[in-house]
Amino acid sequence: MNKGFIFDIKRYAVHDGPGIRTTVFLKGCSLRCWWCHNPEGQLFEPELVYNMNRCRECKECIAICKEDALSWRKKLVINKGKCNLCGKCAENCASEALEIIGREMSVKEIIREIEKDRIFYEESNGGVTFSGGEPLSQPDFLKVILRECTKRKIHTVVDTCGYAPQKIIEDIYSFVNLFLYDIKIMNDEKHRKYTGVSNKIILENLKYLVKKGASIEVRLPIIPGINDDTNNINEIADFLSSLGRIKIISILPYHGAGSEKYTRLNRRYRMRNVKNVEKEKIQEIKEILEEYKFKVKIGG
């Protein structure tokens, strides 16, 4: 698989693994976490998005669209059933209110982008991080890129929720220097409610990686009213302790910074009335995890 879909490449990233990194965001994810801050990475295909706050209401995009996919009803309305993602409306939008999210890139193109920052990797012990969406959702594409990075001695990180058939993990783990592995909720029923999927595969894949001796840093997003209760934190700590090799946990406090993305994507944001996590709560969780002898970091 020499081509895949990405929705962003972020340079000089310092929260996605060690050193200065280039983060490549692959499109597509099977989870629908209520708090997802990259909703533009959920769908596997490109999509046209509309930023109403930038729109000058000139309506030139409607005249340009030959598919009759755009109309006006107090704001621009996109008929996704008619839109063929030709991109002409976005190309001609003077206010940049329209944008195509997601593009197809080849392995060679991505490697070329990664190589541009090699000097920063070498000076900071950094490298490349593959995130999403969920990078494991494009497994063949990901494997080829990881293999190419390994050939070039570029440090690789995969930032994953771990939801994938174990065969995919088996195929890539030897090309990954570090896994940033999300653990969210231990109760399976609650996990299904708030993410849309069971956590059983996720937990089994983590066990597999530990047995294989992979380098792993667990990431724990803290979402008020969903997974910040003491019972869940203790269950997570008990599980991770039982694995034996997990030493580092990064706490990722919830923030609503991505809420505007849902408006542009014309999707419901379930967390709109949820406030950011209080510092006292984060400190409480940190202390619980430290009692289990984990090294705890706040943030990425």
Question: What CATH number has the domain bearing residue 273?
Answer: 3.20.20.70
User: Domains in the chain: how many in total?
Assistant: 2
Give yes or no: residues 163 and 24 share one domain. Answer: yes
Give yes or no: residues 156 and 294 share one domain. Answer: yes
Last residue in a domain, options 73, 101, 129:
101
What pLDDT score does 295 carry?
97
What pLDDT score does 144 carry?
97
pLDDT tens for each residue of the chain, 300 residues long: 689 999 999 999 999 999 999 999 999 999 999 999 999 999 999 999 999 999 999 999 999 999 999 999 989 999 989 999 999 999 999 999 999 999 999 999 999 999 999 999 999 999 999 999 999 999 999 999 999 999 999 999 999 999 999 999 999 999 999 999 999 999 999 999 999 999 999 999 999 999 999 999 999 999 999 999 999 999 999 999 999 999 999 999 998 878 889 988 989 999 988 988 999 999 999 999 999 999 999 987
What pLDDT score does 223 carry?
97
Give yes or no: residues 209 and 271 share one domain. Answer: yes
pTM exceeding 0.85? yes
What pLDDT score does 178 carry?
98
Give yes or no: residues 159 and 32 share one domain. Answer: yes
What pLDDT score does 60 carry?
95
Give yes or no: residues 110 and 195 share one domain. Answer: yes
Give yes or no: residues 19 and 87 share one domain. Answer: no
Last residue in a domain, options 101, 134, 169:
101
Give yes or no: residues 124 and 7 share one domain. Answer: yes
What pLDDT score does 186 carry?
98
Rounded-to-10 torsion of CA 215, 290, 186, 268: -90
Last residue in a domain, options 101, 118, 141:
101
Give yes or no: residues 227 and 276 share one domain. Answer: yes
Instruction: Note down the domain range covering 67.
Output: 47-101
Give yes or no: residues 149 and 57 share one domain. Answer: no
What pLDDT score does 257 carry?
78
Give yes or no: residues 273 and 133 share one domain. Answer: yes
What pLDDT score does 256 carry?
84
Give yes or no: residues 133 and 190 share one domain. Answer: yes
**At 93, which CATH number?**
3.30.70.20
What pLDDT score does 258 carry?
80
Give yes or no: residues 71 and 153 share one domain. Answer: no
